[in-house]
Structure 1
């Protein structure tokens, strides 16, 4: 059984996910970084590119859309490590289009990955967290789950659902020493966003009072705080990190 505290991060290999893994690793956690089954080679390349050692970050194949697959994989995690101290639900994708053009497949894929994954990944861990009397669950939602966004009815619905899930689960776990919170980033300088055309980036920055994008590291530091002992009396909250673009 591992002596380090254990943090499990879904969507670990994206821009924000990578920053979260670095920060939690620096905080002393062994980070279980999930990736899609069949992407083992890409996961190893990511580990090498980020200079993670096996004692710091361990890749974990996990189909966040598969209820039974998650239950089995996370049962094995519990058997191997004994506990999960921090769960960061960060897996997500977009399939943007106007609602009148949206296919059910585009709707379903986003809801499954961004919202149903919360059930699939959290439920196998939640009971044990409550039994052990401690734990941190942090769900990565979005500014667009609060204000909506043209062409993102599927994504905004899923991200808004994450906030309702967060509040409800926080009520269930409050007496057990388990906190459940959400972080809602605004536009963030991930490789995907930074690759946009300059005029598009400038247009985005023009909507933000601070006139810049968030850094992935700023998002990761908020997760680090919510995972810490210092945040033990914070639960059911959504932390907005958007440079003043939307004040809720």
Structure 2
């Protein structure tokens, strides 16, 4: 068991990559907090996992709301007594070309994808510092490395997440905390699967490994960075993208 008795919070944990990570972490012995705004999916996943004998707890969370984050942290500490791992996986998109992007859509993506990562990490890190141990994994994207048409807001947040990751790695290393990021490429989520087949085929054609990523591919990267196998890795951005843009 690579995460035996570790307590992990996974934001955006009710669906897609986050759900895959919750299931994988539980198989590896962790106690998992499914932190998500989607109460219906979150409760359903919690019930399914508990019925299978897993130690999982759902907490409804709006990462963009500092008070919501503080209440989540309070609930986790009351229930488990510690927090070992934070996966900042929650995110959203509001895509549009630059000249058509609204201020509201720009702000919403900033609030969730960037401020949300800040809110959760700032609230949880003091407890990791007190324990002298912690693993923080932030979700960036290839869009934050290379940019992407129609994603001014999304690309900006994902690039900023890389900057925060490297800064926090420098600040927190001496406190026993590793901070890393994962940059997924085109991944087979519900959102991507709704795209026209022609678009999906184009995505597959521009990566060295001719397929879309599976949610498990990203979850496996989270697991490695959350485990003690990565104890001498910090400030790193792990690309899980099939070799895009090589």
- Smaller-chain TM-score bracket: over 0.9
Query: Displacement of 1:201 after TM fit?
Result: 0.9
Q: 1:59 maps to what in 2?
A: 58
Q: 1:198 maps to what in 2?
A: 197
Q: 1:226 maps to what in 2?
A: 225
Say if 1:75 and 1:124, in contact at 8 Å, map to a contact too. no
Q: 2:139 maps to what in 1?
A: 140
Query: Displacement of 1:43 after TM fit?
Result: 2.2
Structure 1, unpaired ranges of 5+: none
Given the two structures, how large is their TM-score scaled by the length of structure 1? 0.93
3-state secondary structure, aligned to 2:164: helix
| Partners of 1:33 and 1:208 in 2: CA distance | 32
Q: How does 1:149-164 map to 2 (within 5 A)?
A: 149-164=148-163
| Partners of 1:211 and 1:194 in 2: CA distance | 16
| Partners of 1:91 and 1:40 in 2: CA distance | 14
Structure 1 pair 161/42, CA: closer, same or farther in 2 (3 Å)? Answer: same
Structure 1 pair 27/219, CA: closer, same or farther in 2 (3 Å)? Answer: same
3-state secondary structure, aligned to 1:136: strand
Q: 1:32 maps to what in 2?
A: 33
Deviations 1:207-237 (A, max 9, x none): 1121111111111111111111110000000
Q: How does 1:81-100 map to 2 (within 5 A)?
A: 81-100=80-99
Query: Displacement of 1:49 after TM fit?
Result: 5.7
3-state secondary structure, aligned to 1:9: strand
3-state secondary structure, aligned to 2:32: strand
Query: Displacement of 1:51 after TM fit?
Result: 7.2
Query: Displacement of 1:139 after TM fit?
Result: 0.4
| Partners of 2:149 and 2:123 in 1: CA distance | 35
Say if 1:143 and 1:246, in contact at 8 Å, map to a contact too. no
Query: Displacement of 1:55 after TM fit?
Result: 3.7
Q: 1:238 maps to what in 2?
A: 237
| Partners of 2:52 and 2:160 in 1: CA distance | 35
3-state secondary structure, aligned to 1:171: helix
| Partners of 2:48 and 2:130 in 1: CA distance | 37
Say if 2:206 and 2:245, in contact at 8 Å, map to a contact too. no
3-state secondary structure, aligned to 1:33: strand
| Partners of 1:113 and 1:41 in 2: CA distance | 20
Structure 1 pair 53/64, CA: closer, same or farther in 2 (3 Å)? Answer: farther
Q: 1:13 maps to what in 2?
A: 14
Say if 2:26 and 2:32, in contact at 8 Å, map to a contact too. yes
- RMSD of aligned residue pairs (Cα, Å): 1.7
How many residue pairs were aligned?
243
Say if 2:33 and 2:58, in contact at 8 Å, map to a contact too. yes
Q: 2:126 maps to what in 1?
A: 127
Structure 2, unpaired ranges of 5+: none
Query: Displacement of 1:22 after TM fit?
Result: 1.1
| Partners of 2:178 and 2:33 in 1: CA distance | 20
Q: 2:78 maps to what in 1?
A: 79
Query: Displacement of 1:199 after TM fit?
Result: 1.4
3-state secondary structure, aligned to 1:13: coil
